[in-house]
Amino acid sequence: MKSERAKVLHEVAGRPLIAWAVENARAAGARRVVAVLGHQRAEVRAALDARFGAGAVEVAEQLEQRGTGHAVQSALPAIAGEPDDAVLIILSGDAPLLRPERVAELARACDASPSHLALMSTRPSVPVAYGRLLRDPEGRLLRIVEHLDASPAERAIDEMNAGFYAVRLRELRADIASLTADNAKGELYLTDLAARAAVRGGAAVLEAPFEEVSGINDRVDLAGVEAAARRRVLERWMVDGVTVVDPSSTYIDADVGPIGRDTWIGPGVALRGRTRIGARVRIDVGCVLTDVELADDVVVRPYSVASEAQLGARAQLGPFAHLRPDTILEADARVGNFVETKKAHIMAGAKASHLSYLGDVSVGARANIGAGTITCNYDGFQKNRTTIEAGAFIGSDSQLVAPVTIGRDAYVGSGTTVTKDVPRAALALTRVKQVNVEGWADRYREENDKRRGRGGGGKHEP
């Protein structure tokens, strides 16, 4: 991947590659999941623990990278207590498009196979260096030859090994010890299990579409798989009753959901992380929502951004609004254009419609925040909280210097800087008294015209 990160930590549809493998195994019914880790194993283990819980995915270490057969050998001590009749599924960590139902099908084929080995094949639509399946005249699988070891005639075979296996532990334990590194790579090939299974009646082979089993070896592969995964995600939601106006420009991560029926998603929208969306929600053009919860009937107007926020039923956001983490909009609350929030609790029916910053604040029910209002929450050393109680009215261009409380039903006049608490139903004013000087503008222009040599006249020339 030419990257500082391990390949399995690169993401497809917002989910690390290794997480796709674990999710697929679990969805197929696996009792235990063991990840065989080598390169950057500490970082990969930390990612698994963060996603699934500490120790939920067991880890086996492959201290040397000596091939796929050696990787499976490295996992055997972790499952030493499993009975001989248990079925082991072997999945690649870089093939996220494999469907869980395919994994379950592979396990069933293993049980039905006389050799108790089942593997998956594919017929690639593009040239790839995969192993070829060699069969006898009756179609029984004899062995798999890797691309580097294959003759020109063998390389002409279009049926190739996809790299997924199901095998009963009794047979695996017996066969894995007999693997040798007598091949072009000098590695232990897991594909050699096919030849061992041939003497027991042959492995079962399930064919899968190439797109579904395609692995990732570089950023080109990553982009291709990403496009396929996102298309699959969008199709799932559209089938479930969600309108996606322009699938080609819409990005929904694999972990997003649920999304309620009759939700409408405009072009250029990105839904990320574990975003959850209710029914009849409208998300307009260009919005980016990350780990956000939207209740029923929420409206998100164009080009709004929200992260780790919650919007209650019928709440309205945007356009061009920014909800930073720990923002809560209760039912019927409104946050409008060019309003930014952070650690803000906007209660039911409250409004902040224009050009405001609301940080570390509680805004009571039905309160109104005028344009240009700022909660001055940072004093250079610590963050302080502002409380605006229910029904309060904050006039435009006001600064609320925290910590401060605006009482219930109080008014703050436009242009006021509030530095102390405002009692219930009081009016707070700090603006300087206005003075009008009659005729001043005409006299000012005349004086300037005289300086420029234009003479009087009292009229301003642009």
CATH number (domain holding residue 41): 3.90.550.10
- Encoding tokens for residue 320? 């061009």
428 vs 185, higher pLDDT: 428
For residues 85 and 168, give the distance between their C-alpha atoms in angstroms, rounded to a whole number. 6
Tell how many helices (H) and how many strands (E) occur in the chain: 10, 37
200, 267: one domain: no
* β-pair partners for 132: 145, 160
User: pLDDT (tens digit, 9 = 90+) per residue, 76-90?
Assistant: 999 999 999 999 999
> What type of residue is 54?
A
Confidence of residue 446 (pLDDT cuts 50, 70, 90): very high
Q: Is the peptide bond before 258 cis (omega within 30 degrees of 0)?
A: yes
Q: Is the pLDDT score of 461 beyond 90?
A: no
Q: Is the dihedral angle over the CA atoms 52, 9, 273, 253 positive or is it negative? A: negative
Find the mean pLDDT for residues 208-227: 95
Is the dihedral angle over the CA atoms 215, 218, 220, 225 positive or is it negative? positive
pLDDT tens digits, residue range 141-192? 999 999 999 999 999 999 999 999 999 999 999 999 999 999 989 999 999 9
Helix axes 41-52, 17-27, angle to 10 degrees: 50
Tokens of 169: 């532990």
**Does 290 share its domain with 175?**
no
Residues 191, 247: one domain? no
281 shares a domain with 201: no
pLDDT (mean) for 277-284: 98
Q: For 420, left (φ over 0), alpha (ψ -120 to 50), or beta?
A: beta
Asked, for residue 218, whether it belongs to a domain, the answer is no
Given a cut of 70, whether residue 1 has pLDDT beyond it is yes
Q: Give the pLDDT band (50/70/90) at residue 455.
A: low
Residue 402 and residue 256 in one domain: yes
The yes-or-no verdict on residue 457 having pLDDT over 70 is no
Q: Residue 6 burial (CB < 10 Å; 0-12/13-18/19+)?
A: buried
Q: Mind giving me the DSSP string for 270-283?
A: EEETT-EE-TT-EE
State the average pLDDT over residues 384-398.
Answer: 98
Query: Do residues 18 and 35 lie in contact, with contact meaning Cβ atoms separated by under 8 Å?
Result: yes
Over residues 218-232, the pLDDT tens digits come to: 999 999 999 999 999
Model pLDDT, residue 454: 64
d(CA 364, CA 346): 7
Whether 152 and 290 map to the same domain: the answer is no
How many domains is the chain partitioned into structurally? 2
Confidence label for 244 from pLDDT (cuts 50, 70 and 90) = very high
In a domain, 455, yes or no: no
72/176 Cα distance (integer angstroms): 8
pLDDT at position 386 over 80: yes
Categorize the per-residue pLDDT at 432 as very low, low, confident or very high, splitting at 50, 70 and 90: confident
Task: Report pLDDT for 462.
Answer: 45
Inside any domain, residue 223 = no
Within a domain: 451: no
**Locus of tokens 């694999």:** 254
Residue 246 and residue 202 in one domain: no
Residue 274 domain boundaries: 242-428
Catalytic positions: 354
The DSSP string of 222-268 is HHHHHHHHHHHHHHHHHHTT-EES-GGG-EE-TT---B-TT-EE-TT
Q: What pLDDT score does 7 carry? A: 96
Question: What is the reported pLDDT for 281?
Answer: 98
Quick check: 206 and 118 in contact, CB under 8 A?
yes
pTM of this structure: 0.92
Q: CB of 192 within 8 A of CB of 117? A: no
Distance CA 59, CA 33 (A): 9
On the question of pLDDT at 460 being above 60, the answer is: no
Do the Cβ atoms of 193 and 125 come closer than 8 Å?
Answer: no
